[in-house]
Amino acid sequence: MPNDVAIIGVGQSSFVRNYEGSIRELSFEAYKEAMLDAGLSNEDIGASIICSAPEYDKQRSPAALVAEYLGLIPQPTFYVETVCSSSTTGIRVGYSLIKSGLHDLVVVLGFQKMSEISSADSQERMGRGADIMWESPFGTMMPAYYALHARAHFDRYGSTEKDLALIRLKAAKYGKLNEKAVFRKDLELDQVLNADPIATPLKRFDCCANADGSSCLILASAEKAKELSKKPVWIKGLGSAIASQTMTGRETLDGLSCAREAAKEAYNMAGMTPQDIDVAEVHDCFTIAEMMAYENLGFAEPGKGPELIKEGETYIGGKIPVNVDGGLLSKGHPIGATGGSQVRTIVLQLRDEAGDIQVPGAETGLVHNIGGVGIYGNVIIMGR
């Protein structure tokens, strides 16, 4: 795969439970960091792509508001939404704009200020990500949906609550090293296993937390990347797929078909296999989501995901380190910003700039970002 599009700048705000400023100020935090990282000024940027889930935004059409505040006028801006995978969808759009020749430098910025509405309202709006005629009116919410996936995996493969708890312990171990994460505490196995149930078999620590935050990436054409960056990280493969919005439209619930199909497309485009990946960020909105990702991405055979975590293979030093920034379980999940945050982590890994969580010698990295309950799936493979 030729090196046609690179990421030359990354930024992220701290992810917090209650950000005191506005969405424009929140967005600026990540934008400023990314622009300083890339060494660019506003005039250099050809276009911006703003990504969020609109049901949380009081501002209608926030892309124009954010672009104006960032000083990106009169450059065109675009608003992209695929729920929790919005900012990786934004990367796919930005990649296309550069490959088409329309622009050389594109900003992809994701944000979400989820604290503007109550937790109850947030859960109800998340539930409306499912079919509003046949599912969400009956009270289905995100924890319940992923509990269905957990039960299906348990029933088919014999995985257990302890297997999921081990994933949460890994998230806590690395989350405490991430200064931008919401949850920065160690956990013990008994704490996780004996926590309050949320949607059986998922308990409190099996679920990520809502958060406010922003992330920003600067995409560049090959010519611009070589001119402007000493350490460009190249986009090697992009995969994207969707699945039925209703659970009844899916053949099985023990994995996510959108992730499998997106991974297949990304590996084919990159000319790589799962064995070529040195470090991965996967969408662990719930512990079972990370377990399914191991298998959907080909890091483990179906049903063998528990062996990876039990044998420590997804820790630094293992066969395939996964979510060594704490993942969503520790960082929090500001919907529009999540995918960009995952990509930022991989970019820092591939530039040898990840500090205490650096995977030695990482040359290729993968991001797996899911929107809704396995509706949208994006997989991005990057390399030095």
The residues carrying an active-site annotation are: 84, 333
User: What distance, in Å, lies between the first and last C-alpha atoms of the chain?
Assistant: 13
| Contact call for residues 211 and 114 (beta carbons, < 8 A) | yes
Rounded to whole angstroms, how far apart are CA atoms 34 and 31?
5
DSSP per-residue string spanning 294-324:
HHHTTSS-TT-HHHHHHTTTTSTTSSS-B-T
Neighbours of 178 (CB within 10 A): 22
Q: Nearest CA to 51 among 9, 15, 90, 13?
A: 90
Unique residue bearing structure tokens 């590996």: 267
Residue 314 token pair:
């997804």
How far, in Å, are 138, 145, 226, 227, 360 from residue 243 at the CA level? Answer: 21, 14, 38, 40, 36
- Of 29, 86, 89, nearest to 54 by C-alpha is 86
Give the pair of three-digit tokens for residue 300.
């483990």
Distance (Å, whole) CA 243 – CA 87 = 19
**The tokens 């591939």 sit on which residue?**
350
User: Nearest 5 degrees, angle CA 348-CA 15-CA 170?
Assistant: 65
Note whether 19 and 79 are within 8 A (CB): no
